[in-house]
């Protein structure tokens, strides 16, 4: 019987959709303030819906990929 997926596994597998700042911060293990800084710096695109900001999950994964450090 397959094991139940954890919340982080489900989020990673779902590459579409918009996520709130708190979910992005939790996934990246950074503060919500840092997520807002990344947005303001232009490093993390976002959508503003009223007063709320949402981030496309694909953009979060792209940010991770762009900042990946590979040591040889």
Q: Is residue 72 situated within a structural domain?
A: no
Q: Is residue 38 situated within a structural domain?
A: yes
Distance CA 27, CA 17 (A): 15
Q: Is residue 33 situated within a structural domain?
A: yes
Q: pTM to 2 decimals?
A: 0.75
Domain of residue 50: give its range: 7-66
Note the helical H segments in 1-72: 7-13, 21-28, 32-40, 57-66
pLDDT tens per residue across all 72 residues of the chain = 455 555 555 555 555 799 999 999 999 999 999 999 999 999 999 999 999 999 999 999 999 999 999 998
Number of domains in the chain: 1
Q: Is residue 62 situated within a structural domain?
A: yes
Q: Give the CATH number of the domain where residue 52 resides.
A: 1.10.10
């Amino acid at each position: 019987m397959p094991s139940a997926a954890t919340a982080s596994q489900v989020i990673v597998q779902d590459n579409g959709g918009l996520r709130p700042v708190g979910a992005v911060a939790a996934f990246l293990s950074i503060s919500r303030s840092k997520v807002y800084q990344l947005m303001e710096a232009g490093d993390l695109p976002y959508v503003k819906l009223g007063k709320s900001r949402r981030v496309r999950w694909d953009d979060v994964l792209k940010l991770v990929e762009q900042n990946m450090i590979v040591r040889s």
